[in-house]
């Protein structure tokens, strides 16, 4: 069973490189980029071999952060890997225990796990002072990595179950808000540290080292420093924690396999009778129809609801460094950030519809109508959020004189985002969760291309908006003409770039709509 | 694969020529040649059945005719217009029901049909009027306010058919329209299609249910392994025998069952 699942995972990984050419190039770039990054980090970790005191501070903190990242990142970015979605195994008579072990082993075959293993190798090098510390390091990092993977699987299994009920969804929303509230004080503590950061880090490492997140990572340090007892105790605790987590994950898995329900559709809302909904309200042109349909999807599809809920909230995080640290300029970025998020969000818009796009193609819908229709919901959203967040941000910062520049930058980012989205959603669609799947699921082996495409879209948006950003920076440095120039340039640039981008996207769509459909079917 | 330039394009005015003409159409996926340069004429006003075993290239061929899949070779014409040279004009004439593709299933049935109409550029009143009529004709009135994602397989087929009909096409291209459809709904769909043909429209459908094709189609083409083995009027193709027999003859597969002796439970 274990071998089967691992082989399945390997095949899926290989298939990443067998999609369309653009997607393969994206995947290769993504993989190269992260190889360099991971190797660099591993070298840095390994270099702590020469300074064991610092290593005892840095490595437990890094390890604990690793476990947190393993748990949190899949929920927001790539989703947990659904090759390993236990529901898929519901119809096969696989013993629960074998399945649990097999799924964990398969999780260790993915790119994130390989990256983590490279980093772990760096950690082992760092602790390789004595034979005892080396073996403790091997055991400790292996336990730590398995803890990270198991926690990640367990949390997404629990959340998957929670999200299938309305009460669970509400609970997740509340927890999310609580986390946002807690981030504030946490950042303030860090921000107020200032120069004695090293001292605090040492304290934090001591605390984390005795917390469940740090047991496995701190143990080799104790042994390297000669504190055999503490090291052994921590190792035992770490192994015990792993056993407990494995039991929890097994149990969650059993519930999922025995009760394999898809994400509930109860709140998808059925309109009564002959109501056309938004289709009856927007202009009755093809573009208007596309816009109305996308808006309807935003309301009914959990995959959009997640990002819809995040978009207005995320910019408020910029207030945290303002209130806690010495950064008077961060609230000014609220308006531009929300504009960026709204414009950027469409860069993979078509992929979310999957091959339902055929209806557009057989209808002979022109690329221009398709692209413009998709802009409608984003323009409506931006028209509400951008002024709101800009005003709040400027008001909090007390810099009403900079309002024109802020708005200019926001419009430039919005336009740049639209332009990039219009082109990229045609050229480089990358796999996303299917309609009806959990929004936390991501297609297997898509992490590399997802990151590459998202980085490319962000970079493209920033480059397109860079003239306005530059002028706004000058305005911040005190130049009043630059402030008005940023407003004028930003507004003009945003509109022109958006129109040009939509036009280019439309031409590309007209030229290669059938190829786009094939890419979506394979994706 | 025959050279495209050797073959004549459909001659004459659109009024006179075939509804669909395919010349040297070919498609390969990597090492697999799915369609090997086929020629096919679908006469105007015919009820044309495309039959063939699984993987014969039926869906690939129909996708290339409807503009969903770009051919590697050859041309396809609908009422005399080249599908790939003049897609906008062609697509206005054709209604399509593809097989195995998703729908915008977070819309209600009524919304989906209206959406299809609006995409085709119909005025909203006309689109919603026709959508309501189609919903009633296909017996979906009860479910018109439900999301398509909650529809059964048969209802999904019907709502897709309605989306293909809403702009009053001249040619209908339907891929497996009767798959997973219950007998009552199938009868409804058959009546609608028969009416469409009677009023001068042309229907092309693919199926592997020979009985059904034999009952409703006026013309038939047998496709296997990316080639047309036989095409023409139903009676010519079946040559006095049941279509199924003739089909098995043409395709040449063996119907003999080898092995599986353990499956026979005669011992008890």
Q: What is the ipTM of this complex?
A: 0.88
Q: Which residues pair with A446 in a beta bridge?
A: none
Q: Kindly determine whether residue A358 and residue B67, on different chains, have CB atoms separated by under 8 Å.
A: no
- Chain A to chain B Cβ contacts (< 8 Å): 122
Tally Cβ neighbours within 10 Å of residue A66.
21
CA distance A361 to B254: 40
The pLDDT confidence band at residue A465, using thresholds 50, 70 and 90, is: very high
According to DSSP, the residues that pair with B28 across neighbouring strands are B33
Structure tokens at B137: 């004709």
Q: What is the mean pLDDT of residues A360-370?
A: 93
Q: Please give chain B's pLDDT, 268 residues, in tens.
A: 444 444 444 444 445 689 999 999 999 988 889 999 999 999 999 999 999 888 889 999 999 999 999 999 999 999 989 999 999 889 999 999 999 899 998 899 999 999 999 999 999 999 999 999 999 999 898 888 888 988 988 899 999 999 999 999 999 999 999 988 888 888 999 999 999 999 989 999 998 888 889 999 999 999 999 999 999 999 999 888 888 888 888 887 666 777 777 776 655 5
- Nearest beta carbon to residue B103 from set A356, A436, A521: A356
Percent of chain B with pLDDT over 70: 91
Rg of chain B's alpha carbons, rounded to an integer? 20
Residue B214 Cα distances to A509, A510, B55, B209, B242, angstroms: 41, 39, 21, 9, 8
Structure confidence at residue A317 (pLDDT): 78
Residues written for chain B: 268
What is the tally of helices (H) and strands (E) in chain A?
20, 0
User: Is residue A349 pLDDT above 60, yes or no?
Assistant: yes
The whole-angstrom separation of Cα B216 and Cα A269 is 40
**Helix, strand, or coil (residue A444):** coil
Report which DSSP code applies to A270. P
pLDDT tens track for A205-233: 888 888 888 888 888 888 888 888 888 88
The pLDDT value given to residue A387: 93
Residues A452, A30: contact at Cβ < 8 Å?
yes
Burial class (CB in 10 A: 0-12, 13-18, 19+), A503: middle
Question: Can you give the pLDDT at residue A5?
Answer: 76
Q: Can you tell me the distance from the alpha carbon of A366 to that of A369, in angstroms, rounded to the nearest whole number?
A: 5
CA–CA separation, A344 vs A419, rounded Å? 9
DSSP letter string over chain B? ---GGGSPPPPS-TTTS-SEEEEEEEEEETTEEEEEEEEEEE-TT-EEEEE--TTSSHHHHHHHHTTSS--SEEEEEETTEETTTSHHHHHHHEEEE-SS----TTSBHHHHHHHHHHHTT--HHHHHHHHHHHHHHTT-GGGTTSBGGGS-HHHHHHHHHHHHHTT--SEEEEESTTTT--HHHHHHHHHHHHHHHHTT-EEEEEES-HHHHHHH-SEEEEEETTEEEEEEEHHHHHTTS-HHHHHHHHH----PPPS-GGG--TT-
Contact A273 B101 (CB under 8 A): no
- What Å distances lie between residue A444 and A431, A432, A447, B241, CA to CA? 9, 10, 8, 51
CA closest to A358 among chain B residues:
B68
Question: What pLDDT digit, counting tens, does each position of A507-519 carry?
Answer: 999 998 999 998 8
Token reading at A192: 């107020």
Kindly state the tokens that stand for B141.
């009135």
Query: Can you read off the two tokens belonging to residue B66?
Result: 């409807």
Measure in Å the smallest separation between the Cα of A498 and chain B Cα atoms: 23
pLDDT at A499: 93
CB contact under 8 A, B104 and A356: yes
More confident residue, B254 or A288: A288
DSSP class of residue A443 equals -
Q: Kindly give the pairing relationship between strand B20-29 and strand B202-207.
A: unpaired
Q: How far apart are CA A35 and CA A377, in angstroms?
A: 38
> How big is chain A by its Cα radius of gyration, in Å?
25
- Cα distance between residue B122 and residue A71, in whole Å: 50
CA distance A251 to A245: 10
Residue A127 to residue B242: CA distance in whole angstroms? 80
- In this prediction, residues A138-145 reach a mean pLDDT of 90
Q: What angle do CA A78, A80, A86 make, to 5 degrees?
A: 150
Question: In this structure, what token pair is assigned to residue B178?
Answer: 């009767």
Flag if B144 and A274 touch (Cβ within 8 Å): yes
SS3 content of chain A, % helix, strand, coil (to 5): 85, 0, 15
Phi/psi at B232 (nearest 5 deg)?
Answer: 150, -160
Residue A436 pLDDT > 70, yes or no?
A: no
Give the range among A89-98, A145-154, A457-466, B14-23 with minimum mean pLDDT. Answer: A89-98
* A353 and B CB contact within 8 Å: yes
Instruction: Please answer yes or no on whether B149 and A296 come within 8 Å at the CB atom.
Output: no
Closest partner residue to A286 (CB to CB) among B70, B121, B128 is: B121
CB atoms within 10 A of CB A270: 15
- On the question of pLDDT at A271 being above 60, the answer is no
Q: Which of B69, B76, B91, B118 to mutate to test the interface with A (most CBs of A within 10 A)?
A: B118
Q: For residue A78, what pLDDT is reported?
A: 45
From residue A389, how far is each of A118, A182, A213 by CA, in Å?
42, 22, 37
Backbone angles phi, psi at A167, to 5 degrees: -65, -40
pLDDT at A87: 67
Residue B25: beta bridge partners?
A: B38
* Separation CA A498–CA A417 (nearest Å): 8
Edge-to-edge strands, sheet with B32-42: B32-42, B20-29, B73-78, B81-82
Give, in order, the Cα–Cα distances in Å from B13 to each of A26, A436, B43, B81, B90: 48, 48, 14, 10, 15
Question: Rounded CA gap, B194 and B202, in Å?
Answer: 10
What is the pLDDT of chain A when averaged over all its residues?
81
B92/A contact by beta carbon, under 8 A: yes
CA distance B205 to B213: 9
Q: The whole model's pTM is what? A: 0.72
Q: Is A211 on the interface with B (CB under 8 A)?
A: no
The mean per-residue pLDDT over the stretch A490-519 comes to 93
Instruction: Look at residue A281 and tell me whether its pLDDT is greater than 90.
Output: no
| Residue A251 confidence (pLDDT) | 84
Chain A interface disruption, residue of B62, B92, B115, B162, most A CBs within 10 A: B115
CA nearest neighbour of B195 among B233, B163, B168: B168
Q: Where are the alpha helices (H) located in A2-130, listed in sequence order? A: 2-15, 21-46, 52-76, 96-107, 111-126
Least confident of A108-117, A267-276, A321-330: A267-276
Chain B within 8 Å of A20 (Cβ-Cβ)?
A: no
Residue A403 CB: number of other CB atoms within 10 A?
18
Poorest-pLDDT segment among A200-204, A244-248, B207-211, B220-224: A200-204
In this structure, are residues B118 and A279 in contact, taking their beta carbons and an 8 Å threshold?
A: yes
Q: Which of A273, A288, A364 is closest, CB to CB, to B91?
A: A364
Question: Which residues 6+ apart lie within 8 Å of A427 measured at CB?
Answer: A22, A508
């Amino acid at each position: 069973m274990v071998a089967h699942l691992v082989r399945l995972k390997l095949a899926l990984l290989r298939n990443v490189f067998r999609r369309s050419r653009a997607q393969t190039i994206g995947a290769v770039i993504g993989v190269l980029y992260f190889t360099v990054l991971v190797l660099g980090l591993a070298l840095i970790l390994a270099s702590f071999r020469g300074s064991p005191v610092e290593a005892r501070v840095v490595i437990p903190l890094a390890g604990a952060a690793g476990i947190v990242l393993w748990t949190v990142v899949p929920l927001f970015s790539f989703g947990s890997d659904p090759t390993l979605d236990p529901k898929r195994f519901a119809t096969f008579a696989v013993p629960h225990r074998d399945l649990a072990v097999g799924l964990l082993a398969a999780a260790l075959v993915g790119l994130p796990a390989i990256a983590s293993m490279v980093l772990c190798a760096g950690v082992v090098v760092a602790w390789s002072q004595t034979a005892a510390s080396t073996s403790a390091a091997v055991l400790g990092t292996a336990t730590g990595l398995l803890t990270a993977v198991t926690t990640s699987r367990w949390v997404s299994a629990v959340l998957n179950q929670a999200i299938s009920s309305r009460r669970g969804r509400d609970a997740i929303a509340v927890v999310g808000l609580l986390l946002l509230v807690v981030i504030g004080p946490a950042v303030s503590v860090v921000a107020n540290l200032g120069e004695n950061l090293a001292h605090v880090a040492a304290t934090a490492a001591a605390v984390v080292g005795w917390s469940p997140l740090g047991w496995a990572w701190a143990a080799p340090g104790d042994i390297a420093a000669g504190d055999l007892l503490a090291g052994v105790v921590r190792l035992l605790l770490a192994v015990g924690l792993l056993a407990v987590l494995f039991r929890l994950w097994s149990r969650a898995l059993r519930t999922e396999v025995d009760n394999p329900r898809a994400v509930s559709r109860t709140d998808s809302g059925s309109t009564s009778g002959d109501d056309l909904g938004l289709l009856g309200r927007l202009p009755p042109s093809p573009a208007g129809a596309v816009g109305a349909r996308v808006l309807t999807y935003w309301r009914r599809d959990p995959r959009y609801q997640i990002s819809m809920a995040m978009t207005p909230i995320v910019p408020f995080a910029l207030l945290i460094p303002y209130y806690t640290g010495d950064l008077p300029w961060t609230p000014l970025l609220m308006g531009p950030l929300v504009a960026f998020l709204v414009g950027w969000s469409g860069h993979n818009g078509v992929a979310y519809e999957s091959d339902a796009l055929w209806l557009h193609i057989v209808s002979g819908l022109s690329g221009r109508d398709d692209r413009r229709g998709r802009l409608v919901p984003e323009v409506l959203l931006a028209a509400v959020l951008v002024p709101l967040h800009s005003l709040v941000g400027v008001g909090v910062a007390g810099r009403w004189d900079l309002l024109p520049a802020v708005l200019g930058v926001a419009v430039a980012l919005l336009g740049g985002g639209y332009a990039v989205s219009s082109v990229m959603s045609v050229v480089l669609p990358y796999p996303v969760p299917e309609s009806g799947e959990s929004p936390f699921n991501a297609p297997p082996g898509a992490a590399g291309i997802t990151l590459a495409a998202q980085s490319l879209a962000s970079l493209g948006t920033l480059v397109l908006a860079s003239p306005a950003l530059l002028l706004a920076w000058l305005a911040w440095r005190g130049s009043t003409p630059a402030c008005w120039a940023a407003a004028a340039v930003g507004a003009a640039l945003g509109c022109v770039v958006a129109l040009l981008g939509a036009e280019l996207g439309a031409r590309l769509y007209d030229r290669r709509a059938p190829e786009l459909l094939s890419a979506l079917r394979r994706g | 694969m025959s050279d495209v330039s050797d073959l004549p394009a459909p001659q004459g005015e659109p009024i006179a020529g075939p509804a669909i003409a395919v010349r040297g159409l070919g498609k390969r996926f990597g090492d697999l040649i799915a369609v090997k340069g086929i020629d096919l004429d679908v006469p105007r006003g015919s009820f044309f059945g495309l039959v063939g075993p699984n993987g014969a290239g039926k869906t690939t061929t129909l996708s290339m005719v409807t503009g969903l899949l770009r051919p590697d070779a050859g041309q396809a014409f609908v009422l005399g217009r080249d599908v790939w040279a003049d897609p906008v004009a062609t697509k206005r004439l054709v209604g399509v029901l593809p097989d195995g593709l998703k729908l915008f299933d977070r819309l209600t049935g009524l919304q989906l049909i209206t959406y299809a109409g609006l995409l085709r550029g119909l005025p909203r009143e006309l689109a919603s009027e026709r959508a309501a009529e189609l919903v009633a004709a296909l017996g979906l009135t009860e479910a018109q306010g439900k999301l398509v994602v909650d529809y059964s397989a048969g209802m999904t087929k019907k709502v897709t058919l309605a989306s293909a009909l809403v702009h009053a096409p001249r040619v209908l291209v339907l891929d497996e329209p009767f798959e997973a459809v219950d007998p009552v709904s199938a009868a409804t769909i058959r009546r609608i299609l028969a009416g469409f043909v009677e009023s001068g429209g042309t229907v092309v459908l693919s199926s592997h249910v020979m009985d059904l094709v034999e009952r409703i189609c006026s013309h038939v083409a047998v496709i296997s392994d990316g080639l047309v083995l036989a095409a023409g009027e139903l009676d010519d193709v079946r040559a006095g025998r049941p279509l199924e027999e003739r089909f098995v003859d043409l395709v040449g597969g063996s119907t003999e069952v080898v092995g599986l002796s353990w499956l026979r439970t005669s011992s008890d």
